[in-house]
């Protein structure tokens, strides 16, 4: 169906690298290391992780739309979680954030069939990455998960200076990857940043939808498992 394509651009977080699972593993470890079980009077990390995950998605959405900066994103996601769990956010230990940022990107949980699908695609197509992540975190994830070698070019929004869905980052990634938009396609989990962002510059796009949200009417292509790409390409 897309066998006429030459260049495939992937998103990283929530598309190849299982952000939620890796974050959850890290938070679970740190919850007990920092004795949050005493602080919150809760013997499991479940509630903390649940509230944090909602806050994290919310602040990333604000960041994607350019409404907050990186420092505010990192501060708010934990401060708001403390407040909502009824604990003074001033009690949040500053080294928790540093440890979280150091450990989380070293986690290596990927979405099912990620490696076998990249292995399948890499010989037939040029693969590229466009991530809205932060420079150090992104590089650490690629290194620890051994993903770097799959990609001919890697564009990280923090280095380039604007985030998806800004058309400039797609135009730059196409130029940088020596790819024509007609023969390129973007695959990502974020409808606005990845799918509509790519479509706005004239690229095709596939919505990666592993949690099965309702497909918006203007989105044509959707997969729920990365292995479907082995049929489509």
List residues binding Mg ion (CB under 5 A): 11, 13-15, 189-190
CA-closest candidate to residue 135, choices 96, 94, 163: 163
Q: Least distance from C-beta 140 to Mg ion, angstroms?
A: 17
CA-closest candidate to residue 208, choices 18, 42, 27: 18
- CB count within 10 Å of CB 90 equals 7
Nearer to Mg ion, 15 or 126 (CB): 15
Nearer to Mg ion, 82 or 165 (CB): 165
Residue nearest to Mg ion (CB): 14
Nearer to Mg ion, 11 or 204 (CB): 11
Q: Least distance from C-beta 38 to Mg ion, angstroms?
A: 35
Q: Least distance from C-beta 166 to Mg ion, angstroms?
A: 15
Residues near 195 by Cβ (< 8 Å), separated by ≥ 6? 186, 188, 205, 206, 207, 219
Nearer to Mg ion, 180 or 224 (CB): 224
Q: Least distance from C-beta 19 to Mg ion, angstroms?
A: 7
Q: Give the whole-angstrom CA distance, residue 11 versus residue 121.
A: 15
- CB count within 10 Å of CB 191 equals 19
The pair of structure tokens assigned to 166 is: 């800004």
Residues near 211 by Cβ (< 8 Å), separated by ≥ 6? none
Nearer to Mg ion, 45 or 198 (CB): 198
Q: Give the whole-angstrom CA distance, residue 105 versus residue 137.
A: 6
Nearer to Mg ion, 13 or 204 (CB): 13
Q: Least distance from C-beta 232 to Mg ion, angstroms?
A: 19
């Amino acid at each position: 169906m897309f066998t006429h394509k030459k260049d495939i651009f992937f998103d990283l977080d929530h598309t190849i690298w299982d952000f939620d699972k890796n974050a959850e593993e890290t938070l679970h470890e740190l919850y007990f290391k920092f004795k949050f079980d005493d602080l919150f009077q809760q013997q499991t990390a479940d509630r903390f992780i649940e509230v944090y995950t909602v806050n994290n998605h919310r602040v990333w959405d604000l960041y994607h739309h350019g409404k907050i900066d990186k420092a505010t994103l990192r501060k708010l996601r934990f401060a708001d979680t403390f407040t909502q769990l009824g604990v003074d956010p001033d009690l949040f230990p500053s080294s928790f954030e540093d440890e979280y940022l150091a450990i989380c990107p070293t986690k290596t949980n990927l979405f099912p069939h990620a490696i076998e699908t990249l292995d399948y695609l890499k010989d037939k197509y040029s693969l590229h990455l466009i991530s809205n992540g932060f420079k150090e975190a992104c590089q650490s994830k690629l290194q620890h998960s051994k993903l770097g070698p799959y990609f001919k070019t890697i564009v990280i929004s923090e280095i380039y200076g604007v985030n998806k869905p800004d058309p400039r980052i797609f135009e730059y990634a196409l130029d940088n990857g020596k790819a024509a938009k007609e023969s390129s396609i973007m695959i990502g989990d974020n409808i606005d940043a990845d799918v509509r962002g790519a479509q706005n510059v004239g690229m095709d796009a596939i919505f990666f939808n592993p949690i099965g949200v309702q497909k918006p009417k203007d989105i044509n292509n959707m997969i729920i498992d990365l292995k479907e790409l082995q049929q489509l390409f």
